[in-house]
Amino acid sequence: MRHDRDTDRALDVLVCLAGADDERQAVRERIGVAERPSGLVPELHWTNLSRLSADALPVSARLWVLEEDRADLNELLILADGLPPGLKSAVLHGEPFGPGRKEPVPLPETLRYRLRTEGAEQLPAAELIPALRAVRTMRQGRRAARATGRGDWSRVIEADTEQQLPGYTRWALALRPDCPPVLRERFSTHPGYAHRVRLAGIIDGPESYVREWRSARTVLCALDTGRWAFPTREKEAEDVLRPLVRDSLGANVEAWAVLAQLLPTFTGTVPELIVTAGAIA
């Protein structure tokens, strides 16, 4: 079988979750997917930058990249222009993102010049809360959210607890990828909550991503990028898919052939694709 590049990437993610080595090799021969190197950060190139862009990864996945606390990944993410100013500032100042980590992350030489202009959109601490309370439109809310630094969240939560911030402010803050769950959850009862957070690319985690998001090829291509861009969180997605792959497809090469034919135009989720292919075969 012949596949375009993205279909090949997507198929390889699933084949790697199949059973023993000989089973995977038989599947690869049947559907024509060669084994790809994984885990290594590719060279700095526009293709790799594009895979970290706003169109290639949901915004929450870019936070998963930051949680790796690797200077080379941070460099790619900054150059891909995939971060709001508050997160960009944190990266340029070497702040760690991984749970429990305190050691600063080295800043690559290629990014040091950005420190001269970094922080221009952020507000002084004394001005931030008044600015958040003065918001009257969504545009103003987005501007105020951009001006909120990563270290400002505790004060923002405290201010909202004391006196609820304007709705546009709260919406804009909730759509930040690093918004604390306690603040975002205050919108969970709003009728438009689920739709807005999905449009913004906000995801609870990799498990929700593979179970609920579509199309299957888009999700699998993001997971292919995740093998080198966010390998720690990638494991959560693999744990969801591995039993599905082995139960529905296993060593049945014809089921794999059906999956390969369905994948390019399949509009459902990855689990739906796997189960459908297994049922047809």
Residue pLDDT, tens place only, 28-83: 999 999 887 766 666 656 677 778 876 678 999 999 999 999 998 999 888 888 78
Using 50, 70 and 90 to split pLDDT, how confident is the model at 84?
confident
Separation CA 42–CA 21 (nearest Å): 25
Structural domain range at position 268: 5-39+232-280
Residue 166 pLDDT exceeds 90: yes
Of 155, 181, 202, which residue sits at a domain end?
Answer: 202
pTM of the model: 0.91
Token digits of residue 171: 């919406």
Token digits of residue 112: 């040091």
CA proximity to 89, closest of 26, 136, 27, 152: 152
Q: Which helix (H) or strand (E) holds 140?
A: helix 138-146
Backbone angles phi and psi of 95, in degrees to 5: -70, 135
Is the domain of 184 the same as that of 136? yes
Average pLDDT of the chain, as a whole number: 90
pLDDT (tens digit, 9 = 90+) per residue, 132-150?
Answer: 999 999 999 999 998 898 8
In angstroms, what is the C-alpha Rg of the chain?
Answer: 21
Backbone angles phi and psi of 174, in degrees to 5: -65, -25
Is the domain of 185 the same as that of 245? no
Token digits of residue 226: 């995740």
To which residue do tokens 């221009």 refer? 120
Is the domain of 138 the same as that of 192? yes
Residue 75 CB contacts under 8 Å (≥ 6 apart), including other chains: 44, 108, 110, 111
Q: How many CB atoms lie within 10 A of CB 225?
A: 22
Residue 275 inside a domain? The answer is: yes
pLDDT at residue 50, as a whole number: 77
Is the domain of 186 the same as that of 245? no
pLDDT (tens digit, 9 = 90+) per residue, 196-229?
Answer: 898 989 999 999 999 999 999 999 999 999 999 9
Is the domain of 198 the same as that of 240? no
To which residue do tokens 């909120």 refer? 148
Is the domain of 130 the same as that of 186? yes
Is the domain of 145 the same as that of 197? yes
How many alpha carbons fall within 13 Å on the CB side of residue 48? 18
Is the domain of 187 the same as that of 249? no
Residue 121 pLDDT exceeds 60: yes
Residue 212 inside a domain? The answer is: no
Q: List Cα–Cα distances, 154 to 129, 158, 275, in angstroms.
A: 11, 6, 44
Separation CA 222–CA 225 (nearest Å): 5
Q: In total, how many domains does the chain have? A: 2
Q: List Cα–Cα distances, 32 to 35, 244, 261, 262, 265, in angstroms.
A: 10, 21, 12, 15, 18
Is the domain of 194 the same as that of 130? yes
Residue 221 inside a domain? The answer is: no
CA proximity to 241, closest of 201, 197, 273, 280: 273
Is there a contact between 134 and 98 (Cβ–Cβ < 8 Å)?
Answer: no
Is the domain of 166 the same as that of 238? no
Separation CA 29–CA 6 (nearest Å): 18
Of 162, 187, 202, which residue sits at a domain end?
Answer: 202
Is the domain of 192 the same as that of 129? yes
SS3 167: helix
